[in-house]
Amino acid sequence: MRGCSSLQELPTSIGELNALQKFNLGDCSQLQELPMSIGWLSAFQDFNLKGCFKLMESPTSIGQLNALQKFNLTNYSQLKELPITIG
Protein backbone atom coordinates (compact mmCIF):
# COMPACT_ATOMS: atom_id res chain seq x y z
CA MET A 1 0.00 0.00 0.00
CA ARG A 2 3.07 2.20 -0.18
CA GLY A 3 2.36 5.69 -1.45
CA CYS A 4 -1.44 5.62 -0.97
CA SER A 5 -1.60 9.35 -0.34
CA SER A 6 -5.38 9.39 0.18
CA LEU A 7 -5.47 6.58 2.79
CA GLN A 8 -6.54 8.04 6.14
CA GLU A 9 -7.28 4.94 8.21
CA LEU A 10 -7.17 1.16 8.13
CA PRO A 11 -10.19 -1.03 8.85
CA THR A 12 -10.35 -2.83 12.17
CA SER A 13 -10.57 -6.08 10.22
CA ILE A 14 -6.84 -5.75 9.39
CA GLY A 15 -6.24 -7.66 12.63
CA GLU A 16 -7.86 -10.75 11.10
CA LEU A 17 -5.03 -11.22 8.59
CA ASN A 18 -3.27 -13.78 10.79
CA ALA A 19 -0.65 -14.79 8.22
CA LEU A 20 0.36 -11.21 7.30
CA GLN A 21 4.12 -10.86 7.75
CA LYS A 22 4.99 -7.59 5.99
CA PHE A 23 3.05 -4.35 5.65
CA ASN A 24 4.39 -1.33 3.81
CA LEU A 25 2.49 1.87 4.54
CA GLY A 26 5.46 4.04 3.61
CA ASP A 27 4.59 7.49 2.28
CA CYS A 28 0.89 7.17 3.15
CA SER A 29 1.06 10.81 4.14
CA GLN A 30 -2.62 11.19 5.10
CA LEU A 31 -2.78 8.13 7.38
CA GLN A 32 -4.01 9.46 10.73
CA GLU A 33 -4.37 6.41 12.95
CA LEU A 34 -3.80 2.69 13.26
CA PRO A 35 -6.48 0.40 14.67
CA MET A 36 -5.87 -1.42 17.95
CA SER A 37 -6.40 -4.68 16.06
CA ILE A 38 -2.95 -4.24 14.50
CA GLY A 39 -1.63 -5.98 17.62
CA TRP A 40 -3.49 -9.18 16.73
CA LEU A 41 -1.13 -9.90 13.82
CA SER A 42 0.82 -12.75 15.39
CA ALA A 43 3.02 -13.47 12.34
CA PHE A 44 3.79 -9.79 11.65
CA GLN A 45 7.55 -9.26 11.15
CA ASP A 46 8.13 -6.12 9.06
CA PHE A 47 6.21 -2.84 9.43
CA ASN A 48 7.06 0.25 7.39
CA LEU A 49 5.54 3.58 8.44
CA LYS A 50 8.18 5.77 6.80
CA GLY A 51 6.76 9.17 5.86
CA CYS A 52 3.41 8.80 7.63
CA PHE A 53 3.46 12.42 8.73
CA LYS A 54 -0.05 12.66 10.23
CA LEU A 55 0.21 9.71 12.62
CA MET A 56 0.36 11.17 16.10
CA GLU A 57 0.70 7.96 18.11
CA SER A 58 0.95 4.22 17.81
CA PRO A 59 -1.64 2.01 19.48
CA THR A 60 -0.40 0.24 22.59
CA SER A 61 -1.26 -3.06 20.91
CA ILE A 62 1.90 -2.73 18.80
CA GLY A 63 3.69 -4.05 21.87
CA GLN A 64 1.90 -7.39 21.33
CA LEU A 65 3.67 -7.98 17.99
CA ASN A 66 6.04 -10.62 19.33
CA ALA A 67 7.36 -11.64 15.89
CA LEU A 68 8.12 -8.03 14.86
CA GLN A 69 11.72 -7.72 13.67
CA LYS A 70 11.70 -4.53 11.62
CA PHE A 71 9.77 -1.32 12.40
CA ASN A 72 10.58 1.68 10.18
CA LEU A 73 9.50 5.03 11.59
CA THR A 74 11.77 7.24 9.46
CA ASN A 75 10.27 10.71 8.86
CA TYR A 76 7.49 10.01 11.34
CA SER A 77 7.76 13.57 12.64
CA GLN A 78 4.61 13.79 14.80
CA LEU A 79 5.43 10.78 16.96
CA LYS A 80 6.02 11.83 20.54
CA GLU A 81 6.56 8.40 22.12
CA LEU A 82 6.28 4.68 21.52
CA PRO A 83 4.02 2.51 23.65
CA ILE A 84 5.75 1.26 26.80
CA THR A 85 4.78 -2.28 25.81
CA ILE A 86 7.06 -2.31 22.74
CA GLY A 87 10.38 -3.94 23.21
pLDDT per position as a tens digit, 44-72: 999 999 988 888 777 889 888 989 999 88
What pTM did the predictor assign? Answer: 0.81
The residue range of the domain holding 30 is 12-72
What is the distance between the alpha carbons of residues 84 and 50, in angstroms, rounded to a whole number?
21
Mean pLDDT taken over the chain = 88
Query: How many domains is the chain built from?
Result: 1
Residue 30 placed within a domain: yes
CA distances from 28 to 13, 23, 25 (A): 19, 12, 6
Residue 2 placed within a domain: no
Dihedral angle computed from the Cα positions of residues 83, 17, 27 and 36, in that order, rounded to the nearest 10 degrees: -30
Residue 80 placed within a domain: no
Query: Hey, which bits of the chain come out as E strands?
Result: 22-24, 46-48, 70-72
Residue 81 placed within a domain: no
Residue 20 DSSP symbol: -
Residue 79 placed within a domain: no
